[in-house]
Amino acid sequence: MGPGNRPLDLEWLEDFLALAETGNFSRAAEARAIAQPAFSRHIRALEDWVGVELFDRSAHPAALTPAGQRFLPLLEGVLANLEAARIKARAAHDLAAASLRFAATHVLSLTFFPRWLVGMEARLRLGPIQTMSDSSQACEDLMLQRRVQFVLCHGHADVPGRLDEAQYPMRRLADDLLLPVSAPQPGGAAGLPLHALGQQASVPVLAYSEASGLGRIMRARMRGVFSEGADSAVPSGVAVVFTAHHAVLLKTMAQEGRGVAWLPESLITDELRAGTLVAAGGADWNVPVQIRLYRQRAEMSPVAESLWELAVAHTGPQTR
Protein backbone atom coordinates (compact mmCIF):
# COMPACT_ATOMS: atom_id res chain seq x y z
CA MET A 1 0.00 0.00 0.00
CA GLY A 2 1.55 3.31 -1.11
CA PRO A 3 1.95 6.32 1.20
CA GLY A 4 -1.11 8.10 -0.19
CA ASN A 5 -3.33 5.12 0.62
CA ARG A 6 -2.33 4.77 4.26
CA PRO A 7 -4.79 5.88 6.96
CA LEU A 8 -4.13 9.37 8.30
CA ASP A 9 -4.66 10.24 11.94
CA LEU A 10 -5.50 13.92 12.43
CA GLU A 11 -3.63 13.83 15.73
CA TRP A 12 -0.42 13.45 13.74
CA LEU A 13 -1.09 16.79 12.07
CA GLU A 14 -1.41 18.55 15.41
CA ASP A 15 1.80 16.81 16.53
CA PHE A 16 3.55 18.09 13.42
CA LEU A 17 2.54 21.67 14.17
CA ALA A 18 3.73 21.38 17.76
CA LEU A 19 7.15 20.09 16.71
CA ALA A 20 7.46 22.68 13.94
CA GLU A 21 6.83 25.39 16.54
CA THR A 22 9.17 24.13 19.28
CA GLY A 23 11.85 22.27 17.33
CA ASN A 24 12.16 19.94 20.31
CA PHE A 25 10.60 16.49 20.58
CA SER A 26 10.43 16.54 24.39
CA ARG A 27 8.77 19.94 24.68
CA ALA A 28 6.40 19.22 21.79
CA ALA A 29 5.37 15.90 23.35
CA GLU A 30 4.80 17.64 26.68
CA ALA A 31 2.69 20.31 24.98
CA ARG A 32 0.63 17.59 23.33
CA ALA A 33 0.30 15.72 26.65
CA ILE A 34 1.64 12.42 25.31
CA ALA A 35 4.79 10.39 26.01
CA GLN A 36 7.78 11.26 23.84
CA PRO A 37 8.15 7.74 22.34
CA ALA A 38 4.53 7.83 21.20
CA PHE A 39 5.00 11.37 19.90
CA SER A 40 8.05 10.33 17.88
CA ARG A 41 6.09 7.42 16.40
CA HIS A 42 3.34 9.83 15.34
CA ILE A 43 5.83 12.06 13.51
CA ARG A 44 7.41 9.07 11.79
CA ALA A 45 3.97 7.73 10.82
CA LEU A 46 3.07 11.11 9.31
CA GLU A 47 6.32 11.13 7.32
CA ASP A 48 5.53 7.62 6.11
CA TRP A 49 2.10 8.82 5.02
CA VAL A 50 3.55 11.83 3.17
CA GLY A 51 6.34 9.71 1.75
CA VAL A 52 9.25 12.01 2.68
CA GLU A 53 11.04 13.22 5.81
CA LEU A 54 9.56 16.43 7.14
CA PHE A 55 12.15 17.14 9.87
CA ASP A 56 15.93 17.23 9.86
CA ARG A 57 16.70 15.40 13.10
CA SER A 58 20.43 16.11 12.86
CA ALA A 59 19.77 19.81 13.44
CA HIS A 60 19.38 21.27 16.91
CA PRO A 61 16.68 22.29 17.31
CA ALA A 62 14.94 19.98 14.86
CA ALA A 63 14.34 21.87 11.64
CA LEU A 64 11.87 21.47 8.84
CA THR A 65 13.20 19.95 5.64
CA PRO A 66 12.32 21.72 2.37
CA ALA A 67 9.43 19.27 2.08
CA GLY A 68 8.36 20.13 5.63
CA GLN A 69 8.53 23.85 4.87
CA ARG A 70 6.24 23.34 1.90
CA PHE A 71 3.93 21.08 3.90
CA LEU A 72 3.52 23.48 6.87
CA PRO A 73 1.45 26.32 5.35
CA LEU A 74 -0.68 23.92 3.35
CA LEU A 75 -1.40 21.89 6.48
CA GLU A 76 -2.30 25.03 8.43
CA GLY A 77 -4.76 25.92 5.68
CA VAL A 78 -6.30 22.44 5.75
CA LEU A 79 -6.74 22.49 9.53
CA ALA A 80 -8.21 26.00 9.40
CA ASN A 81 -10.72 24.84 6.77
CA LEU A 82 -11.58 21.77 8.82
CA GLU A 83 -12.26 23.92 11.87
CA ALA A 84 -14.38 26.29 9.79
CA ALA A 85 -16.29 23.30 8.37
CA ARG A 86 -16.91 21.99 11.88
CA ILE A 87 -18.18 25.36 13.07
CA LYS A 88 -20.46 25.79 10.05
CA ALA A 89 -21.79 22.25 10.35
CA ARG A 90 -22.66 22.76 14.01
CA ALA A 91 -24.23 26.12 13.23
CA ALA A 92 -26.34 24.51 10.51
CA HIS A 93 -27.39 21.77 12.92
CA ASP A 94 -28.32 24.31 15.58
CA LEU A 95 -30.27 26.36 13.03
CA ALA A 96 -32.16 23.31 11.81
CA ALA A 97 -32.93 22.25 15.37
CA ALA A 98 -34.18 25.72 16.26
CA SER A 99 -36.11 26.49 13.07
CA LEU A 100 -39.65 25.54 12.08
CA ARG A 101 -40.18 23.61 8.88
CA PHE A 102 -43.62 23.75 7.29
CA ALA A 103 -45.09 22.22 4.18
CA ALA A 104 -48.27 23.95 3.04
CA THR A 105 -50.50 23.37 0.05
CA HIS A 106 -50.30 26.05 -2.63
CA VAL A 107 -53.65 27.64 -1.85
CA LEU A 108 -53.19 27.76 1.94
CA SER A 109 -49.66 29.13 1.64
CA LEU A 110 -51.21 32.11 -0.16
CA THR A 111 -54.33 32.60 1.95
CA PHE A 112 -54.52 31.12 5.43
CA PHE A 113 -50.90 30.44 6.40
CA PRO A 114 -49.51 34.01 6.44
CA ARG A 115 -52.32 35.33 8.67
CA TRP A 116 -52.21 32.32 10.98
CA LEU A 117 -48.45 32.60 11.34
CA VAL A 118 -48.69 36.27 12.29
CA GLY A 119 -51.09 35.27 15.05
CA MET A 120 -48.71 32.61 16.33
CA GLU A 121 -45.74 35.01 16.25
CA ALA A 122 -47.71 37.49 18.35
CA ARG A 123 -47.82 34.88 21.13
CA LEU A 124 -44.56 32.98 20.69
CA ARG A 125 -40.99 33.75 19.56
CA LEU A 126 -40.61 31.34 16.65
CA GLY A 127 -37.18 32.09 15.18
CA PRO A 128 -36.24 31.03 11.62
CA ILE A 129 -39.01 29.46 9.53
CA GLN A 130 -38.70 27.34 6.41
CA THR A 131 -41.80 26.89 4.28
CA MET A 132 -42.31 24.64 1.28
CA SER A 133 -45.40 25.15 -0.88
CA ASP A 134 -46.56 22.21 -3.00
CA SER A 135 -49.42 19.87 -3.76
CA SER A 136 -51.09 17.96 -0.95
CA GLN A 137 -49.44 14.72 -2.08
CA ALA A 138 -45.98 16.33 -2.08
CA CYS A 139 -46.60 17.83 1.38
CA GLU A 140 -47.56 14.40 2.70
CA ASP A 141 -44.36 12.98 1.21
CA LEU A 142 -42.29 15.61 3.01
CA MET A 143 -43.92 14.71 6.32
CA LEU A 144 -43.54 10.96 5.81
CA GLN A 145 -39.86 11.51 4.97
CA ARG A 146 -39.45 13.61 8.17
CA ARG A 147 -38.25 16.60 6.14
CA VAL A 148 -40.81 18.93 7.75
CA GLN A 149 -42.31 19.20 11.21
CA PHE A 150 -45.75 20.44 10.18
CA VAL A 151 -48.11 20.11 7.23
CA LEU A 152 -50.90 22.60 6.58
CA CYS A 153 -53.60 21.36 4.22
CA HIS A 154 -57.32 20.96 3.66
CA GLY A 155 -59.04 17.84 4.93
CA HIS A 156 -62.43 16.21 5.31
CA ALA A 157 -63.66 13.99 8.11
CA ASP A 158 -65.00 11.39 5.67
CA VAL A 159 -62.01 11.40 3.31
CA PRO A 160 -58.87 10.30 5.19
CA GLY A 161 -55.49 11.07 3.68
CA ARG A 162 -52.19 9.27 4.12
CA LEU A 163 -51.32 11.23 7.26
CA ASP A 164 -54.66 10.26 8.80
CA GLU A 165 -54.09 6.62 7.91
CA ALA A 166 -50.62 6.79 9.48
CA GLN A 167 -52.18 8.41 12.59
CA TYR A 168 -50.18 11.64 12.58
CA PRO A 169 -51.48 14.08 15.23
CA MET A 170 -53.79 16.69 13.72
CA ARG A 171 -55.58 19.88 14.79
CA ARG A 172 -58.40 21.53 12.90
CA LEU A 173 -57.39 25.18 12.78
CA ALA A 174 -60.39 26.54 10.87
CA ASP A 175 -63.21 25.64 8.51
CA ASP A 176 -63.44 26.41 4.82
CA LEU A 177 -65.96 25.77 2.08
CA LEU A 178 -65.51 24.56 -1.49
CA LEU A 179 -67.90 26.60 -3.60
CA PRO A 180 -68.79 25.78 -7.24
CA VAL A 181 -68.22 29.03 -9.09
CA SER A 182 -68.31 30.27 -12.65
CA ALA A 183 -67.68 33.44 -14.54
CA PRO A 184 -70.83 35.57 -14.74
CA GLN A 185 -72.91 35.77 -17.89
CA PRO A 186 -71.74 38.55 -20.20
CA GLY A 187 -73.65 41.80 -20.03
CA GLY A 188 -73.97 41.82 -16.26
CA ALA A 189 -77.11 39.68 -16.09
CA ALA A 190 -77.75 40.17 -12.37
CA GLY A 191 -74.85 37.95 -11.33
CA LEU A 192 -76.11 34.88 -13.16
CA PRO A 193 -73.45 32.20 -13.84
CA LEU A 194 -72.20 31.49 -17.32
CA HIS A 195 -72.27 27.80 -16.38
CA ALA A 196 -75.04 26.73 -13.98
CA LEU A 197 -75.15 23.34 -12.27
CA GLY A 198 -78.51 21.60 -12.53
CA GLN A 199 -79.87 24.13 -15.02
CA GLN A 200 -77.96 23.49 -18.24
CA ALA A 201 -77.74 20.43 -20.44
CA SER A 202 -73.95 20.52 -20.52
CA VAL A 203 -71.66 21.93 -17.83
CA PRO A 204 -67.87 21.97 -18.22
CA VAL A 205 -66.01 21.24 -14.99
CA LEU A 206 -62.51 22.39 -14.02
CA ALA A 207 -61.15 19.60 -11.83
CA TYR A 208 -58.28 18.99 -9.43
CA SER A 209 -55.56 16.47 -10.29
CA GLU A 210 -54.78 13.25 -8.45
CA ALA A 211 -51.97 15.01 -6.52
CA SER A 212 -54.40 17.51 -5.02
CA GLY A 213 -55.94 16.98 -1.60
CA LEU A 214 -58.94 19.02 -2.65
CA GLY A 215 -59.23 16.75 -5.67
CA ARG A 216 -59.26 13.70 -3.39
CA ILE A 217 -62.04 15.27 -1.35
CA MET A 218 -64.05 16.31 -4.38
CA ARG A 219 -63.83 12.89 -6.02
CA ALA A 220 -64.99 11.19 -2.84
CA ARG A 221 -67.84 13.61 -2.16
CA MET A 222 -69.05 14.05 -5.73
CA ARG A 223 -68.87 10.37 -6.64
CA GLY A 224 -72.08 9.73 -4.74
CA VAL A 225 -73.75 12.91 -5.93
CA PHE A 226 -73.08 12.34 -9.62
CA SER A 227 -74.23 8.72 -9.39
CA GLU A 228 -77.70 9.58 -8.09
CA GLY A 229 -80.81 9.29 -10.21
CA ALA A 230 -82.52 11.82 -12.42
CA ASP A 231 -84.53 13.26 -9.52
CA SER A 232 -81.34 14.68 -8.05
CA ALA A 233 -81.23 17.47 -10.69
CA VAL A 234 -77.64 16.55 -11.52
CA PRO A 235 -76.83 17.66 -15.08
CA SER A 236 -76.42 14.76 -17.46
CA GLY A 237 -73.78 16.57 -19.50
CA VAL A 238 -71.20 17.29 -16.78
CA ALA A 239 -67.72 16.81 -18.25
CA VAL A 240 -64.23 17.51 -17.00
CA VAL A 241 -62.58 19.82 -19.52
CA PHE A 242 -59.48 20.91 -17.58
CA THR A 243 -57.39 19.43 -14.74
CA ALA A 244 -54.75 20.97 -12.46
CA HIS A 245 -53.63 20.71 -8.83
CA HIS A 246 -53.34 24.49 -8.36
CA ALA A 247 -56.57 26.02 -7.09
CA VAL A 248 -55.24 29.41 -8.20
CA LEU A 249 -54.95 28.14 -11.77
CA LEU A 250 -58.48 26.73 -11.66
CA LYS A 251 -59.67 30.11 -10.36
CA THR A 252 -58.10 31.86 -13.35
CA MET A 253 -59.65 29.38 -15.77
CA ALA A 254 -63.07 29.85 -14.15
CA GLN A 255 -62.76 33.64 -14.46
CA GLU A 256 -61.99 33.16 -18.14
CA GLY A 257 -65.32 31.38 -18.55
CA ARG A 258 -63.86 27.94 -19.14
CA GLY A 259 -66.13 26.09 -16.70
CA VAL A 260 -67.19 25.47 -13.11
CA ALA A 261 -64.54 25.05 -10.40
CA TRP A 262 -64.99 24.15 -6.75
CA LEU A 263 -62.75 26.69 -5.05
CA PRO A 264 -62.01 27.39 -1.37
CA GLU A 265 -64.09 30.31 -0.14
CA SER A 266 -60.95 31.67 1.53
CA LEU A 267 -59.38 32.02 -1.94
CA ILE A 268 -62.19 33.78 -3.76
CA THR A 269 -63.65 36.25 -1.24
CA ASP A 270 -62.55 39.27 -3.28
CA GLU A 271 -63.70 37.77 -6.58
CA LEU A 272 -67.17 36.99 -5.19
CA ARG A 273 -67.44 40.50 -3.81
CA ALA A 274 -66.34 42.02 -7.12
CA GLY A 275 -68.63 39.74 -9.15
CA THR A 276 -65.87 38.32 -11.33
CA LEU A 277 -66.92 34.90 -10.00
CA VAL A 278 -70.46 33.90 -9.04
CA ALA A 279 -72.06 30.83 -7.52
CA ALA A 280 -72.69 28.14 -10.11
CA GLY A 281 -75.09 26.16 -7.94
CA GLY A 282 -77.10 26.20 -4.75
CA ALA A 283 -75.87 25.45 -1.24
CA ASP A 284 -76.38 21.72 -1.82
CA TRP A 285 -73.36 21.80 -4.13
CA ASN A 286 -71.05 23.28 -1.48
CA VAL A 287 -68.49 20.98 0.15
CA PRO A 288 -67.43 21.82 3.74
CA VAL A 289 -63.73 21.22 4.41
CA GLN A 290 -61.33 21.75 7.29
CA ILE A 291 -58.02 23.59 7.41
CA ARG A 292 -55.73 21.18 9.25
CA LEU A 293 -52.31 21.23 10.86
CA TYR A 294 -50.46 17.91 11.12
CA ARG A 295 -47.29 17.36 13.14
CA GLN A 296 -44.57 14.75 13.38
CA ARG A 297 -45.37 11.89 15.74
CA ALA A 298 -41.91 11.90 17.34
CA GLU A 299 -40.67 14.59 19.71
CA MET A 300 -39.65 17.76 17.91
CA SER A 301 -37.44 20.73 18.75
CA PRO A 302 -38.54 22.85 21.74
CA VAL A 303 -39.82 25.70 19.56
CA ALA A 304 -41.82 23.28 17.39
CA GLU A 305 -43.34 21.65 20.47
CA SER A 306 -44.22 25.10 21.84
CA LEU A 307 -45.93 26.01 18.58
CA TRP A 308 -47.96 22.80 18.66
CA GLU A 309 -49.00 23.40 22.27
CA LEU A 310 -50.09 26.92 21.33
CA ALA A 311 -52.07 25.60 18.35
CA VAL A 312 -53.77 23.03 20.58
CA ALA A 313 -54.62 25.64 23.20
CA HIS A 314 -55.86 28.07 20.58
CA THR A 315 -58.18 25.58 18.85
CA GLY A 316 -59.50 23.92 22.01
CA PRO A 317 -61.10 20.45 22.30
CA GLN A 318 -62.05 18.84 19.01
CA THR A 319 -62.42 15.55 17.22
CA ARG A 320 -61.56 14.50 13.73
Tens of pLDDT, residues 129-170? 989 999 999 999 999 999 999 999 999 999 999 999 999 999
Termini Cα distance of the chain:
65
174: pLDDT strictly greater than 60 = yes
Cα separations (Å) of 93 from 24, 98, 149, 305? 40, 9, 15, 18
Tens of pLDDT, residues 47-104? 999 999 999 999 889 999 999 999 999 999 999 999 899 888 887 777 666 689 999 9
For 62, half-sphere exposure in the C-beta direction (CA atoms, 13 angstrom radius) is 21
Q: Which domains does the chain have, with CATH numbers?
A: 3-95 (1.10.10.10), 100-315 (3.40.190.290)
Mean pLDDT of 253-265: 95
Side chain identity, residue 183? A
Tell me, what's the pLDDT at 186?
A: 86
Is 5 exposed, middle or buried (CB count within 10 Å of its CB: 0-12, 13-18, 19+)?
Answer: exposed
Helix axis angle for 36-50 and 10-22, nearest 10°, is 110
